[in-house]
Structure 1
């Protein structure tokens, strides 16, 4: 329980963020590209798993969005999962977490 306490505290901080405003259309496209490229290098380009676990709606069904956002933002100490707070805002992390639970969008190709 003690080991989970910091994660629960961090997740609580994201409760409000998960309901925060969505990033603009251009930022959403940047986030989709980042997730597909950077996160995909460990979680698989289709996010179905690789070195890291699958990030599909069915794989994340029992995970609170706030906890997912906290993991994205802060990482998981003692694992290969880095925190992305240097590149993301808390709102960005919350938006990504929500999108993962819904089925992450495909990256738009130039000209489409």
Structure 2
């Protein structure tokens, strides 16, 4: 089975990093509860520190299934509404990487 690293990075408005981290970590908890998989939340050291990165390792065939579980959750949807004014619109960058050395 193919494993992917899925990473989403987005810029955060000035003085909103704490709020962004709170939203992202709450969403990571929901992701874990609904899928059984971890989502790591990080921010950049150096460069532009006002970015939040959320990263997960997922099985390629489960990617859409996991997203559907999460996106239909009412708590998740409420947190998505809180993004406005915290995360900078138009700065979201998604990256999917194929893992080539996954242990069996």
Q: TM-score, normalised by structure 1?
A: 0.32
Q: Choose between structure 1 and 2 for higher RCO, CA contacts under 8 A separated by at least 6 residues.
A: 2
Q: TM-score, normalised by structure 2?
A: 0.33
Q: Which has the higher strand share?
A: 2
